[in-house]
Structure 1
Amino acid sequence: MNGTWIRLRLGWTVPDGRSALSWVLWQPGYVPSPWPTDELKPAFTYYACDELRGGGRGVVARATVTAVLRPTEVVSPDAAHELVAEHLFDDTLSIDELPWHTNAYNRSKSGAPWPQRIMAWRTATESVGPHLLPELTRFPRTGWLRSDKIGL
């Protein structure tokens, strides 16, 4: 299948909605699949899917990667925040420590054994759709899927 990648959720967005930050935390040795391992680098473009107000999910944005922090081992949630801040934050896109630590995803990962690996990426985003596709009801554990029904 040579379809377009779709990511569940856009990530942490700035108020103007034109950029976002996404990240994942993994246990050492975990190899995510499906995952755009080779493609996830600057200029890679994918679609983001999110919950719709009326219910269900739809493709709501097109995201183009502008910067990437490749998988790196971190020893704590604080170390993860520091590393992402060092590599991907600037005056237009950042997350303070309190929102980082209270983020639902990060809270769920904080109870897992450490060290973990973090991967993060920034995107330039533009709103699209929403486009409703039947395959958006179920995503693999990685949060990525491919679809031949939508194209860049």
Structure 2
Amino acid sequence: MVWIRLHNARYPVPGGTPRIAWAMWQTNYSATPWPHDELKPDFGYYICETLEDGTRALTYRASVTHVLPPTEVAKPEEAYDLVSEHLFDEGLRIAPHDWHDYHYNALKAEAPWPQRIVAWRARVEPFGPHVMEGLQRFPRSGWTQTEAISL
């Protein structure tokens, strides 16, 4: 089985790259499906994006290089600080105001806290676009698995 992560191109990540991703959820939420045990350095997955015509396709192969494992944080500022500490360097950084203004983070800031955050950075290489069945609907977690393609 191969993991696929939905990258929402309509809301590009600050810095404009799928090399970094994160998710936050309330402490009582169990994210499934999710590669909980696999999400560590060298974990490989595909990135799915929505093309201009609305079709979803695999567009990158990714290999995780850095991980912030699921960590409970009391407020949004702590989430940014942890991501900054674990994933940012001279080559990849998101300014604090861009992080807090990002639509996903702004929505999460309105939700009850504490929350858990998980974040990762990956080396990506262009792939495709490769259109295949099963990419039109993703679970709420943004992850799905398939046997239809291999890394």
Letter in 2 for 1:7: R
> Aligned in 2, Cα 1:72/1:109: closer, same or farther, shift over 3 Å?
same
* Structure 1 residue 79: Cα displacement: 1.1
**Taking every aligned residue pair, what percent have the same amino acid on both sides?**
49
TM-score (norm 1): 0.91
> Aligned in 2, Cα 1:13/1:20: closer, same or farther, shift over 3 Å?
farther
Structure 2 matches for 1:83-98, cutoff 5 A?
A: 83-98=82-97
Equivalent in the alignment of 1:4: 2
CA distance in structure 1 between the partners assigned to 2:135 and 2:76 by the alignment: 30
TM-score (norm 2): 0.92
Structure 2 matches for 1:9-24, cutoff 5 A?
A: 9=7, 12=13, 20-24=19-23
Letter in 2 for 1:4: V
Structure 2 matches for 1:40-51, cutoff 5 A?
A: 40-51=39-50
* Structure 1 residue 13: Cα displacement: 7.2
Equivalent in the alignment of 1:101: 100
8 A Cα contact 1:12 1:20, kept in partner: no
Over aligned residue pairs, what C-alpha RMSD do you find? Answer: 1.6
* Structure 1 residue 14: Cα displacement: 5.1
Letter in 2 for 1:50: E
* Structure 1 residue 55: Cα displacement: 1.8
> Aligned in 2, Cα 1:66/1:127: closer, same or farther, shift over 3 Å?
same
Equivalent in the alignment of 1:112: 111
**Secondary structure of 2:78's match?**
helix
8 A Cα contact 1:13 1:20, kept in partner: no
Equivalent in the alignment of 2:31: 32
Q: Which residues of structure 1 form unaligned runs of 5+? A: none
